[in-house]
Amino acid sequence: MKKSIASRWLPERLRIALCPDRVVVARLGFGLRSRILDKRIVDCADTDSDLPWQAPLAALGDVLAEFATPGTSATVIL
């Protein structure tokens, strides 16, 4: 089992861009300069013009299941 060298005092952060046609999630590392550790872009088909945010919110739930860990803070940009 590989041990993480990440400090619990400096947790990773998520930046989430939520758009009607896509979701972008970036996992940022800590340190003197933030750096992108991983990034996902999920395109969302417009399934219902009356509810344009439904598809991106559903996709966000799936992406967060992969990215989010307990204690991770997130900033969401609409």
Output b/e per residue, 33-69; b: 16+ Cβ within 10 A. eeeeeeeeeeebeeeeeeeeeebbeebbeebeeebee
Q: Which residues pair with 74 in a beta bridge?
A: 14
pLDDT at residue 78, as a whole number: 87
Distance CA 10, CA 52 (A): 36
- pTM here? 0.74
Other C-beta atoms lying within 10 Å of the C-beta of residue 73 = 9
Residues 28-76 pLDDT 10s = 887 777 788 889 999 987 666 677 788 899 899 888 888 777 778 889 9
Residues 6+ apart with CB under 8 A from 43: 21, 22
